[in-house]
Structure 1
Amino acid sequence: MQVIPLKYGTIFKQAFGQPDVFCQFAKDILGIEFNIDKVYTEYEYPEPIGFVRSKYDLFAEDTEKRIIVEIQQVKEEDFFDRFLYYHLISMVEQVGGYQAYGFDRTVYTIVVLTSTPRDGSIKFSCAVSDMNPIDEFGDIIEVYPHRLVFLCPRKVNDKTPPLVKKWLNFIKDSLDGEMDEMDYPDTLWRKIMAAIQKQTINPALLSEIKDDAAWEEAKIRFVEEGRKEGLEDGREEGREEGLEDGREEGREMLLKQQRETVLQAREMGLDEMAIAKLTGLSAQAIKEIM
Structure 2
Amino acid sequence: MQVIPLKYGTIFKRAFGQPDVFCQFTKDILGIEINIDKVHTEYEYPEPIGFVRSKYDLFAEDTEKRIIVEIQQVKEDDFFDRFLYYHLISMVEQVGGYQAYGFDRTVYTIVVLTSTPRDGSINFSCAVSDMNPIDEYGRTFVVYPHRLVFLCPRQVNDKTPPLVKKWLNFIEDSLDGEMDEVDYPDTFWKKIMAAIQKQTINPALLSEIKDDAAWEEAKIRFVAEGVEKGLGKGREEGRAMLLKQQRETVLQAREMGLDEMAIAKLTGLTAQELKKITK
**Is residue 212 from structure 1 mapped to residue 207 from structure 2 by the alignment?**
no
Q: For residues 263 and 197 of structure 1, what CA distance do their matches in structure 2 show?
A: 72
Contact 1:125 / 1:154 at 8 angstroms: preserved in 2?
yes
Contact 1:238 / 1:245 at 8 angstroms: preserved in 2?
no
Q: Pick the structure with greater CA Rg.
A: 2
1:61 deviates by: 0.3
1:243 deviates by: 16
Q: Deviations over 1:182-221 (max 9, x none)?
A: 1001111000000000011000000000000000000001
The runs of 5 or more residues in structure 2 that have no matched partner are none
Query: SS of the residue aligned with 1:132?
Result: coil
Indicate the larger mover: 275-284 or 10-19: 275-284
Task: Name the TM-score, length of structure 2 as normaliser.
Answer: 0.81
Q: Report the equivalent of 2:240.
A: 252
CA 240–41 in structure 1, closer or farther in 2 if over 3 Å, else same: closer
Q: For residues 77 and 86 of structure 1, what CA distance do their matches in structure 2 show?
A: 16
CA 215–167 in structure 1, closer or farther in 2 if over 3 Å, else same: same
1:118 deviates by: 1.1
CA 193–257 in structure 1, closer or farther in 2 if over 3 Å, else same: farther
Task: Name the TM-score, length of structure 1 as normaliser.
Answer: 0.78
Indicate the larger mover: 185-194 or 40-49: 185-194
CA 51–253 in structure 1, closer or farther in 2 if over 3 Å, else same: farther
Contact 1:17 / 1:58 at 8 angstroms: preserved in 2?
yes
Q: For residues 174 and 274 of structure 1, what CA distance do their matches in structure 2 show?
A: 67
Query: SS of the residue aligned with 1:66?
Result: strand
Query: SS of the residue aligned with 1:261?
Result: helix
CA 250–48 in structure 1, closer or farther in 2 if over 3 Å, else same: farther
CA 241–166 in structure 1, closer or farther in 2 if over 3 Å, else same: closer
CA 209–259 in structure 1, closer or farther in 2 if over 3 Å, else same: farther
Contact 1:238 / 1:244 at 8 angstroms: preserved in 2?
no
Query: SS of the residue aligned with 1:249?
Result: helix
Q: For residues 198 and 262 of structure 2, what CA distance do their matches in structure 1 show?
A: 26
Q: Report the equivalent of 2:196.
A: 196
Q: Deviations over 1:28-85 (max 9, x none)?
A: 0000001100000000000000000000000000000000000000000000000000
Contact 1:238 / 1:247 at 8 angstroms: preserved in 2?
no
Percent identity (aligned): 91
Query: SS of the residue aligned with 1:58?
Result: strand
Q: Report the equivalent of 1:275.
A: 263
Cα RMSD, aligned residues only: 15.1
1:222 deviates by: 1.7
1:288 deviates by: 42
Q: Could you list the runs of 4 or more consecutive aligned residues of structure 1 that deviate by over 6 angstroms after TM superposition?
A: 237-289
Q: Report the equivalent of 1:243.
A: 231
Contact 1:239 / 1:246 at 8 angstroms: preserved in 2?
no
Query: SS of the residue aligned with 1:144?
Result: coil
Indicate the larger mover: 237-246 or 158-167: 237-246
Contact 1:239 / 1:247 at 8 angstroms: preserved in 2?
no
